[in-house]
Structure 1
């Protein structure tokens, strides 16, 4: 790469895109990398502030920004992702399906720490939709040492930094608990909320029953759905520590392995997660806040469940930082700090 006066650059080859920015009108390249400069191009280049221009010189030890950007993309990209057009050393990763984004934070940070290159992405463990932008990468200088890109590949490791796990077509059952609902004293307003949240991820409700507060009856209802082969059972109501709230005991009595009863998230502290049998089918106890709060612990966990991830207690324990929903007048989740 060589710097020379623009007026002297006729016949030379541009080694980078030349961008024109007019506020509110355009931000795009007026010339692309590889363009051979003509006499007519000189006034245009001067009009975008290019009194001097970088022209291409071959150097076996250096890589052009676009060639290096391809290497960055290969470090990041996995199945169900597609690249954008390479432009000014930038490539974006686009989701090819709805799914859960997983990010290897340690390796992401290792590449960004090298300097002269960057990878910016969405938060991991959050859902993305087909067509969403997952990440953007860029080489900072116009050219970069091949050796530095080799170090970047070593820092990134053999596996891609990102993974997009498609959501599974899960069949769910809902067990409503509470004498007040069972005897018709109040209307069941919990079930419609759960159905709508499951629809966000393509999960289908194939069974629903209302039980009284007898823990044996609740256990029997859960067990019936499990025996019928549902992929997940969601229990609503009876999740607090009041003596007559028996849902946690009922879930335990199915033989399900309790991962956690309680979560460092508000709303959602009384959340219960368990898995049943060798297939690790989730049996979940949802606290009352899921019924009336816009976003809760359930919104943080559900996409991971529907992606087929088997969560451990440590996964729930780490939700404390960012686990406070601010109940904003206009909810922008997941484009906010909740769960991050």
Structure 2
């Protein structure tokens, strides 16, 4: 770009928007970038304080901000998302579906570290809905060196900084455990809570088994639901370290692979995650806090299971920072720090 005296700029192409502010009436662009300056435009430009304007001139070593913004968009985009129109070197990405947002933090940080460009995203590992804005990208200066954008490509090889994993229809089974419920001493209030959580997604509950604390009975109930075609199973009734809490043993005895028994999340420290068989069917042991706390580890894990993400222990280990729910008087989850 080239700085030119406004009176001498007739016939030149603006390389940035010119904003006009009239108190109580207007604030917005009076001329858009790409506008060819006419003789009658000169007084207007002078009235908004533009004694000089930047005009576009071709340079084989630089890119206009809008061209460079397209490169940032290409580095971010993946399936199930689209872009907004480029404006002042800025492009936003919008989700085409309901799903789970994943962010490649290593690539994101590498691009942002280059300077003169930025990508700002929502938090990864949380649900998004169709039409939600996922990220915004922007080139900071009006023009940028081509070599700088090549460095951005190298910093994020293969692109795909953002991914939206679609949610899937699931068939769920619920196993309620505990002598107190099985023998009718108290009413089961846990199952309703789990059903409520599952109703936020496309889940069909195909079975509900009520068991005593007998671990063989619990194992049999889990296997019955697996045989019935369950894609996921949730064992309720609490997951404690008490000797008479046999649910972890029962889950293990199904042959499921225990990923973790415990998570650095409060509420939810006693959460158990296991996977059964070659299809990696999740079998979860839900701690009692899920029944009486509004948000728990279950809210952090369930969306990822719905997107068929196979979680490993390290995926839960990193939840410690942000893993403390503050039990706010008015819950704003997920628009808060919990799980982030």
Q: TM-score with structure 1 length normalisation?
A: 0.95
2:335: which partner in 1?
Answer: 335
Query: Is the Cα contact below 8 Å between 2:20 and 2:48 reproduced in 1?
Result: yes
2:309: which partner in 1?
Answer: 309
| Deviations 1:15-67, CA, capped at 9 Å, x for gaps | 12224467897664332221112234334434444332111111111110001
Q: SS of 1:303's equivalent?
A: helix
* Counterparts of residues 53-72 of structure 1 (less than 5 Å): 53-72=53-72
Q: Displacement of 1:318 after TM fit? A: 0.9
2:185: which partner in 1?
Answer: 185
Output the CA distance in 2 between the equivalents of 1:100 and 1:106.
18
Q: Does 1:113 align with 2:113?
A: yes
2:74: which partner in 1?
Answer: 74
Query: Is the Cα contact below 8 Å between 2:77 and 2:159 reproduced in 1?
Result: no
Query: Is the Cα contact below 8 Å between 1:10 and 1:39 reproduced in 2?
Result: yes
Cα distance change on mapping 1:207 and 1:48 into 2, 3 Å: farther
Output the CA distance in 2 between the equivalents of 1:25 and 1:161.
41
Query: Is the Cα contact below 8 Å between 1:235 and 1:283 reproduced in 2?
Result: yes
1:211: which partner in 2?
Answer: 211
Output the CA distance in 2 between the equivalents of 1:37 and 1:321.
54
Query: Is the Cα contact below 8 Å between 1:17 and 1:87 reproduced in 2?
Result: no
Query: Is the Cα contact below 8 Å between 1:172 and 1:231 reproduced in 2?
Result: yes
Cα distance change on mapping 1:224 and 1:130 into 2, 3 Å: same
Output the CA distance in 1 between the equivalents of 2:336 and 2:25.
30
Query: Is the Cα contact below 8 Å between 1:238 and 1:244 reproduced in 2?
Result: no
Output the CA distance in 1 between the equivalents of 2:24 and 2:245.
59
Cα distance change on mapping 1:298 and 1:48 into 2, 3 Å: farther
The total of aligned residue pairs comes to 340
* Counterparts of residues 51-200 of structure 1 (less than 5 Å): 51-200=51-200
Cα distance change on mapping 1:18 and 1:232 into 2, 3 Å: same
Output the CA distance in 2 between the equivalents of 1:315 and 1:25.
52
1:297: which partner in 2?
Answer: 297
2:245: which partner in 1?
Answer: 245
Q: TM-score with structure 2 length normalisation?
A: 0.95
Query: Is the Cα contact below 8 Å between 2:265 and 2:323 reproduced in 1?
Result: yes
Q: Displacement of 1:131 after TM fit? A: 0.5
Q: SS of 1:4's equivalent?
A: strand
1:274: which partner in 2?
Answer: 274
Q: SS of 2:255's equivalent?
A: coil
Cα distance change on mapping 1:205 and 1:146 into 2, 3 Å: same
Cα distance change on mapping 1:34 and 1:159 into 2, 3 Å: closer
Over the residues paired in the alignment, what is the CA RMSD in angstroms?
1.7
Output the CA distance in 2 between the equivalents of 1:27 and 1:338.
38
Cα distance change on mapping 1:54 and 1:271 into 2, 3 Å: same
Q: SS of 2:151's equivalent?
A: helix
Q: Displacement of 1:105 after TM fit? A: 0.8
Q: Displacement of 1:160 after TM fit? A: 1.2
Unmatched 5+ stretches in structure 2:
none
Q: SS of 1:209's equivalent?
A: strand
Q: SS of 2:39's equivalent?
A: coil
